[in-house]
Structure 1
Amino acid sequence: MMDNQKNPDLTKALRKAKRRQSVKMILISVVTVLVLLPAGYVLCNKLSERHSNELNDFLFVRNAIAEPNVSIDSQVLVNSSPIGGSVVSNRSKNIAGYVVPWDTLTNHYTMFRSKFDYNEMHGGWHITKENLYFYNRQTKQLLAQFYHPNIKNYYDGWSEEDDIDLPQDLQKMSGDTAEVSEVALSFDQPYLWSEVKKQFPDDVNVVWLYLLSDDTLDESSGPQGTEVLGFQAYNRETEDLTTSFEGFLKNLEHYNGGKNQPMIGDFIKNYEGFLEKNHKKTFDEVEILGVMITGQNKHLKKLEKLPFVRTSSIGVTAEMSPYIIPEKQGE
């Protein structure tokens, strides 16, 4: 009889203990969630911040060494959150003092990775029996091309001629139009800056120096989207170009080490060979493959017969305005 009387009390006590245990587990779970949520938020923020900074730095480095005469006007984070966001870059070109819209790039990042959109970076190309030219995918502005001196055969569209007809746009340019333009000049062989700089008069701006690209690709079957690497020339003084070249070498090392730009195949050999060959040189000892120039068409036209220029490829052109004076380098 006594056991039967105790059983209800025991059952009641067990139920009470279970309730206490359940309440205890709930409280522990709530506290755990309250602790982990902020910690998780902070962790996600840190990871996203890391990848946004990585992408941001990569875009600046790439613009510095792989975008001839392109400037980043602004670069901002958009829709930023702990799980990711976007980096938006607004870019332009300076054509002898005339600032011309180039494009707006949008690249994305998450807490796990950053992703660079190469589709927007590589220009489109238009091919018919009459024309073969390259253009910016957004603004449809002409995209000036460089040609490596070691690559003899480039794609020539549907031409039935045996000889490859590389662009000679300075010959086609009219010196009578009130325009400013940029032109990519590719040399027939590598030259030292001291060998060619005197050929460019003061009324022509040398704004970018072409130093490196992959010369192992077969360009005869079609454009390969080869990146050309070099650096911005804010003026043509050797002292300043030496400083710019040192910056180029540092950026080049960072560029190849970035997760967004894995260099593959023979370009790795070219890239590593360039660094090994030039990392101890001064700028005076470095060979240049070409330059990008800007200026008034009437001044650019005078350079059409430079003996060391293999090709001249026109890029952005802007009509002159009476309210904007064309600028000369160093002024």
Structure 2
Amino acid sequence: MTISTDFEAIAKRHKRRLTLKYVVLSAGLALVALVLGYMGLNRLTSMNGQYLMAYYNNRIQIAYPNIDVNSFFYNANSQFTGELHSERTKDIAGISVPFEPYRAPYSLVLRRTDSSNEYLVSGDDGRSTYTRGTHYKMPRFFNTKAKVTESNHDKPTQDLDFIADMSGQAVEVAITFDKPYLLSDIVKLVPDQLKLNWIWIGTESSYDTSGLFPANLYGFKPDWKANMTYKEQKQLDEKINNILKKDNEADLSKLNAAYDKPVTPTVALQNSYDTFRHYLQEAVDNHWINSTYGDANGTHLSEQEDVALFLKNNRNVKTAKFAGIILTGKAEQFASLKTADWIYASNIGQSVTIQPYHQLTK
């Protein structure tokens, strides 16, 4: 009986130890799973934020007419939610004026690339569009191939007629060409007293482009110091980096001098376009250009197909053609354009009263 009782006691103690081990092991595994799950969810949220950053970094190179980025950063609302925030301005003849900030939310399951405050609303009996957030006036481009009827609410505008009444102001104007022009032509068309801020690629379709959001208008800002193609720039950057890896005090004066080599305005525009074309192709490859549109007339626009066709037809920087530009300057300096036969439409964007302390570009 004693042996049997001792055996039962030992068995009970062993069972308790096993139960305790199982409890501890289960708790440990649950804790590890919880930590790993937390880390995984946090990583997924971070990846969605990084995707937004990559998208926006590309988008600011290929869209947003005459909109400059001052900063962008993550604004985390919680461990699994946040917002990509970017402060932006416009350049009106060298005067910096505010524009809608970019705000795109991201989370564990969401990454929304559009910023609702830059959506557009119609105004002035269809003559104008304004941002939904702060009601900034947006310059509009018109498609020369779009069907225009008497009942069309968004007819091409001729806002150059109004600028004579805007004395003392610096003005932003979108000019739609009567036909596509080469970059070498654009240099000759723009009056010396006006600033060329942005170049629009246009559309291969017959869709009405006057209501497209700024994120869906594709073009580039001229870099007048661009003295290399995109490939040449990258090769020189890589060469300098490789030298610095071997000797961080190496004399780079001769190589750095290449960055300052002067070029003609036409060559600068062609090199600017070459860089833009690289980023535009990157957007196509990553499926970042994917919006589609349709109207009551049955006209459709597939951005992906449209941009791909543009890239195919405009591979050579010397023969590439463009559909419009944004010019800025003093109101009085636009007078010479009123009789220009190369202008299909003109539409005023933002304007600002010139103050004594403003330093205008031209």
Query: Taking structure 1 as the reference length, what is the TM-score of the superposition?
Result: 0.84
Which digits, 9 at most, give the CA deviation of each residue in 1:36-80, with x for residues without a partner? 444444433332222212101212222222200001111111126
- The answer as to 2:21 corresponding to 1:27 is no
In structure 2, the gaps of 5 or more residues are 225-263, 293-300
Instruction: Identify the residue that residue 201 of structure 2 maps to in structure 1.
Output: 211
RMSD: 2.7
- Paired residue secondary structure (1:115): coil
Instruction: Identify the residue that residue 139 of structure 2 maps to in structure 1.
Output: 144
CA shift in 2, pair 1:124/1:178, >3 Å: same
Instruction: Identify the residue that residue 52 of structure 1 maps to in structure 2.
Output: 49
Instruction: Identify the residue that residue 311 of structure 1 maps to in structure 2.
Output: 345
CA shift in 2, pair 1:123/1:23, >3 Å: same
Contact 2:175 2:326 in 1 (8 A): yes
Instruction: Identify the residue that residue 153 of structure 1 maps to in structure 2.
Output: 148
- The answer as to 2:321 corresponding to 1:268 is no
- The answer as to 2:189 corresponding to 1:189 is no
Instruction: Identify the residue that residue 257 of structure 2 maps to in structure 1.
Output: none
Instruction: Identify the residue that residue 161 of structure 1 maps to in structure 2.
Output: none
- Which segment drifts farther, 94-103 or 72-81? 72-81
Q: Distance in 1 between matches of 2:8 and 2:18?
A: 15
- Paired residue secondary structure (2:322): strand
The letter of the residue matching 2:180 is P
Q: What is the deviation of 1:166? A: 1.8
- The answer as to 2:14 corresponding to 1:17 is yes
Identity, % of aligned positions:
24
Instruction: Identify the residue that residue 68 of structure 2 maps to in structure 1.
Output: 71
Q: Distance in 1 between matches of 2:12 and 2:90?
A: 78
CA shift in 2, pair 1:19/1:154, >3 Å: farther
CA shift in 2, pair 1:92/1:212, >3 Å: same
Contact 1:116 1:260 in 2 (8 A): no
Instruction: Identify the residue that residue 326 of structure 2 maps to in structure 1.
Output: 292
CA shift in 2, pair 1:155/1:143, >3 Å: farther
Q: Distance in 1 between matches of 2:270 and 2:198?
A: 13
Q: Distance in 1 between matches of 2:11 and 2:124?
A: 85
- Paired residue secondary structure (2:137): coil
Contact 1:185 1:292 in 2 (8 A): yes
Question: How many residue pairs get matched?
Answer: 314
Q: 1:251 aligns with which of 266, 269, 279?
A: 279
The letter of the residue matching 1:245 is Y
Which digits, 9 at most, give the CA deviation of each residue in 1:82-133, with x for residues without a partner? 42311111111010111111112211112344212353333111254xx531
Instruction: Identify the residue that residue 239 of structure 1 maps to in structure 2.
Output: 267
